[in-house]
Amino acid sequence: MTEPTPLAPPRRARSPGARALRALLRDPTALLGLAILGVVALLAVLAPVIAPGDPLDMAGVPLQWPGVDPAHRLGTDSLGRDVLAGLVHGTRASLMIGLSAAAVALAIGVLIGAVGGYFGGRIDNTLVRLTELFQTVPGFLLVIVLVAIHTPTLGVIQLAIGLAAWPEIARLVRAEFRRLRDSDFVLAARAAGFGHGHIIVHEVLPNALAPLIVTSSILIASAILTESGLSFLGMSDPNVASWGAMIGGNREHMSSAWFLTALPGAAIALVVLAFNLLGDGLNDALNPRLRRRSA
């Protein structure tokens, strides 16, 4: 008499995070964006090795074209500074500005949007009016005013961009909290005796992270573009090498030495494109409707 074949153990259901990660890794455009950002991050880490020394120091004859001097492969700018050193070290400043400004906007936007969307009533109305007040002023104009009031240092620029970008985050978080505050798991947490702080942080916020993650990638790209616009207007930190500062400092030579603005401009466009590709991939991976539609 043959022995019965043992039953195979039941397969564990993948968590939403694992499914989203698997969908993201299957998206070629998202992988392209991740690859570009990985290379940029590696350049930022290895900047002192690739281009040792201060990138703002005069290194050669001014306005040398790429390929003329082997010591300066991408040429020099109007002050004799090495263009390659500026590009590599500028990677650090541009990424730092994008990440820090996005962190400031997320901190303010999540706090205001979560409190207003969860409690509702007068608190929500007051915070909505505050958000609308900030939205009446164009974001770039607000950044210019804030930077002009203070010395244009890297920290001031990061804070100014973050203060101008938080209303969009607040409205998104408020909409998610209004949608989730009466869900079954929230009602169960209230019945179990948990306080408002616990429910906001541990119950509602994790379920509202998907659109926030997608928006954050776009927010970082917008911050990098905003800093470039400030630098073009001469409102950058003179002690820090950044791509925007390279464009702003060499805009007078666009006709005679176009590479001085084209190279950092191409770097900015490439990083912004990478963040947009990653944002699209995250949106497809974290949106269950899009996953079902593509399946």
- C-alpha closest to that of 214 among 101, 93, 106, 100: 106
The pLDDT of residue 263 is: 92
Buried b (16+ CB within 10 A) or exposed e, 97-111: bbbbbbbbbbebbbb
Residue 159: which pLDDT band, with cuts at 50, 70 and 90? very high
CB atoms within 10 A of CB 33: 23
The pLDDT-based confidence of 83 (bands split at 50, 70, 90) is very high
Residues 293, 32, 282: CA angle, nearest 5 degrees: 40
Measured between alpha carbons, how far is 240 from 69 in angstroms, rounded to an integer?
Answer: 25
Whether residue 15 is predicted with pLDDT greater than 90 in this model: the reply is no
Mean pLDDT of the chain: 86
The C-alpha atoms of residue 69 and residue 294 are separated, in whole angstroms, by 52
The answer to whether residue 294 scores a pLDDT higher than 70 is no
Closest CA to 229 of 143, 146, 151, 102: 143
The reported pLDDT for the residue numbered 8 is 46
Are 133 and 197 contacting, i.e. CB atoms less than 8 angstroms apart?
Answer: no
Q: Which domains does the chain have, with CATH numbers?
A: 24-294 (1.10.3720.10)
Instruction: Give me the mean pLDDT over the 241-259 stretch.
Output: 86
Q: So what's the pLDDT on residue 22?
A: 80
Q: What does the pLDDT average to over 271-287?
A: 85
The band of 16, judged by pLDDT with boundaries at 50, 70 and 90, is: low
Q: pLDDT exceeding 70 applies to what percent of the chain?
A: 91
Say if residues 101 and 244 touch (Cβ distance below 8 Å): no
Of residues 194, 178, 195, the one with CA closest to residue 118 = 178
Nearest CA to 102 out of 176, 161, 25 is that of 161
Q: 228 pLDDT exceeds 50?
A: yes
Does residue 7 carry a pLDDT above 70?
Answer: no
CA gyration radius, the chain? 24
For residues 288 and 284, what is the distance between their CA atoms, to the nearest angstrom? 8
Mean pLDDT computed over 10-16 = 52
The yes-or-no verdict on residue 114 having pLDDT over 90 is yes
Residue % of the chain over a pLDDT of 90 = 39
Asked if residue 243 has pLDDT above 80, the reply is: yes
Answer yes or no: are the C-beta atoms of 184 and 166 closer than 8 Å: no
Rounded mean pLDDT of 196-216?
A: 88
Mean pLDDT of 211-227: 89
Is the per-residue pLDDT at 17 higher than 70?
no
Per-residue pLDDT reduced to its tens digit, 22-54: 877 788 888 999 999 999 999 999 999 988 888
